[in-house]
Structure 1
Amino acid sequence: MDPITHLMTGAVLARSGFNRKAAYATLAMTLAAEAPDLDTLWSIRGPIAAFQHHRGWTHAFLGLPLEAAVVVGAVYLFHRWRLRRNKPTKHSAPLRWGLLYGFALIALLSHLLLDWTNNYGLRPFFPFNPHWYAGSLVFIFEPVIFGLLLIALIAPALFGLINSEVGARKAAFRGRDWAIAALIAIVALWGWRAVEQRQAIQLALNSQDFGSDPGSVPILHVYAEPYPANPFRWQVIVDTPDFYQLAAVDTFANTVATNPHSDIFYKPAETAATLAAKQSWLGHVYLDWSKLPLVTQSDTDPITGAITVTFRDLRFMYDTSFMQGREDPPLSGTVTLDSAHRVTRIKMDGHVQH
């Protein structure tokens, strides 16, 4: 999920009751809810390094205890700084550092859960099990979840202003009911989307629009990828031995729309160029992550003999309000090879790896 959603999730979790148990709970849980994304610092070493390490050990169960310790340690240093600066140290809740550590772990787990629900996925058992897991229930940025969290954070302040106008006493802890309601609504949304996802897959399986002869085409897997906001709209990918076929499924109208001319992607045969590209740094990282890779090569340059091999993931090859998946698929990479099939350039999402 996006960083703002993670941060707001930590704050809403704290307001659901944890902030009543230990001082600095809101600060610690907000920081911890976003802490795993510190792996984006690998982007300093280039786009492939960032891609390789994103959602690695910082998103694994093994790394959470250390991350919780770092977060609580940072909060402790902040507390000591306030004491040295003679800042007010009165707290509405008692100082309980051990309890705060447990709350940070809960916030860190919320990060893993949110990332699992989208279609990028994560590796929670890394490094012992490098397998990627993705629920594909919601889009990487989900406006409905964002809105629920934002309301839970803003509404108590707005109602607090109204109460202050009428002279009501200001509560020490505000927004608990709003926070709990928002969290329940998010869980309900996931459940609703899981039902719609299964229905989308079933509609695709029952459709007679796949392949030139549907009865003779064995289906290996069927995947349903989410659109933002609309729980009834899904991009379904049917995986067969020879090709992938995409379809737009509407579970509300019970319709499956696919075009055999533009929605079928045949699995290309291996060539010396694609095999060499798959042995590159990008190739190893991409094929480790991608669930539905499409690896294609360009025509050979008649002057230099260079060939460009493109890596795309079919899970993201559809258009939304946030991306143009057909024209410019996100999370795509290219490997350029010379006439001897040696790697001369690697790019990820349009950025060259130096």
Structure 2
Amino acid sequence: MDPFTHALASYTLKRAAFPRVPRFTTTAMLVAGTISDLDLLSAYFGPSAFLTFYRTYCHSLLAALLFSLLVTLPFLLRRRGPTEIQTSPLPVFLAVLAATVLHLLMDVCQSAGVELLWPISARRFALDWVAHLDLWILGILLAGILLPTLSGLVSEEIGAKSKGPRGKVGASIALATMILYIVLRFVLHGNALAAMESRTYRGETPRKVAAFAESGSPFRWHGIVETESALHEVEIEVGPAAAPFDPDTAVTSYKPEPSSALDAARDTAVARRFFQVARFPKATVEKTREGFKVTVRDFPYARDASSGWRVEALIGTDPSGKMRSQELAWDRGSQQPR
């Protein structure tokens, strides 16, 4: 999820679950709810650093605990005024920890994946339920914050007294609505997977399928199907008014033929690192004067290449398939850090 949505979610959580904690807690929760995205800065240190740090260490449960302690520490060290009521640091820490964990849970619902169990395991968890920038979640959170604020201003104008902490009801409704929306996404995601798994593609049965969320509509999904010889891109609609899914509309990209150059490329350190992150890695083999150039990208590398930073693995071999060079580089069709 993008940092702005995370900040809105943290503020909504503060209003709904921790309305009476000290004012400093609001700032602390906003920081805690977005600090994990500092790993985005790794892109400015090159594609290798980006592949190593993005959605890994900073998005683990261990990091959530450490970040919560770090953000709470200034509250413990700051000077209190002579008339300020003594407050236990435990409610502040719990509020900050809740914001940090909420960040991880929202990112798990996306497709990029996060290493929740680092350093115990390098496995990435990705549920594929929501988009990176989900307009529906953004709208729900904004409505939960802005509508009660406007209502409070109107109440003040007419002299009505506020009952309870301002914004708590609206924030609670927004959080509940967001959870129901994600549950709906979960159900529709399962329907999309079932539809793709029940078809054949160019005469082959699926070996692996994935459905990725579209930002604008919970009923539209972008699917990828891997068969023995190819990768297929499909657009699928689910829901009561959806048209029947036709697998013949899939855009097919065939895998390269087996070769010594391809075998050598798969065994390189660069390729192994790339395979840990890529959901659907696809190689292309190009003959050069020195031998062969193998490029490994995360399929589909053409669909959203201009919308983010994407890494590819480049391996060069001689004519016999012996490795000559290997590196991680930015995908030439994607954005690059400046």
- TM-score band (shorter)? 0.7 to 0.9
Q: Which residue of 2 aligns with 1:321?
A: none
Secondary structure at the counterpart of residue 224 of structure 1: strand
Matches within 5 A, 1:1-354: 1-76=1-76, 79-80=78-79, 95-169=87-161, 173-207=165-199, 210-211=201-202, 213=203, 217-252=204-239, 253-259=242-248, 263-278=251-266, 282-300=270-288, 302=289, 305=290, 307-314=292-299, 318=303, 324=304, 331-335=310-314, 337=316, 341-343=323-325, 346-350=328-332
Secondary structure at the counterpart of residue 29 of structure 1: helix
Structure 2 CA distance for partners of 1:187 and 1:328, relative to 1, 3 Å: closer
Cα deviation, 1:299-334, whole Å, max 9, x if unaligned, reads 42x4xx37543332236654xxxxx35x88862414
Structure 2 CA distance for partners of 1:30 and 1:89, relative to 1, 3 Å: farther
Secondary structure at the counterpart of residue 19 of structure 2: helix
One-letter amino acid matched to 1:189: Y
Secondary structure at the counterpart of residue 238 of structure 1: strand
One-letter amino acid matched to 1:12: T
Q: Displacement of 1:45 after TM fit? A: 2.6
One-letter amino acid matched to 1:343: S
Higher alpha-carbon deviation: 167-176 or 179-188 = 167-176
Q: Displacement of 1:272 after TM fit? A: 4.5
Structure 2 CA distance for partners of 1:278 and 1:221, relative to 1, 3 Å: closer
One-letter amino acid matched to 2:67: E
Structure 2 CA distance for partners of 1:328 and 1:56, relative to 1, 3 Å: closer
Cα deviation, 1:218-237, whole Å, max 9, x if unaligned, reads 43222211111211111222
Structure 2 CA distance for partners of 1:195 and 1:315, relative to 1, 3 Å: farther
Q: Do the aligned partners of 2:224 and 2:231 also contact (CA within 8 Å) in 1?
A: yes
One-letter amino acid matched to 1:97: P
What's the RMSD between the two structures over aligned residues? 3.0
| Cα distance in 1, alignment partners of residues 294 and 8 from structure 2 | 40
| Cα distance in 1, alignment partners of residues 307 and 90 from structure 2 | 48
Higher alpha-carbon deviation: 177-186 or 307-316 = 307-316
One-letter amino acid matched to 1:284: R
| Cα distance in 2, alignment partners of residues 11 and 329 from structure 1 | 27
Cα deviation, 1:261-315, whole Å, max 9, x if unaligned, reads x712222245454455445564233211112111223342x4xx37543332236
| Cα distance in 1, alignment partners of residues 117 and 252 from structure 2 | 34
Q: What number of residue pairs does the alignment pair up?
A: 330
Q: Do the aligned partners of 1:250 and 1:256 also contact (CA within 8 Å) in 2?
A: yes
Structure 2 CA distance for partners of 1:279 and 1:76, relative to 1, 3 Å: farther
Q: Do the aligned partners of 2:232 and 2:252 also contact (CA within 8 Å) in 1?
A: yes
Secondary structure at the counterpart of residue 295 of structure 1: strand
TM-score, normalisation: structure 1: 0.82
TM-score, normalisation: structure 2: 0.85
Structure 2 CA distance for partners of 1:259 and 1:219, relative to 1, 3 Å: closer
Report runs of 4+ in structure 1 exceeding 6 Å deviation: none
Q: Do the aligned partners of 1:308 and 1:334 also contact (CA within 8 Å) in 2?
A: no
Structure 2 CA distance for partners of 1:237 and 1:76, relative to 1, 3 Å: same
| Cα distance in 2, alignment partners of residues 62 and 14 from structure 1 | 22
Structure 2 CA distance for partners of 1:269 and 1:352, relative to 1, 3 Å: farther
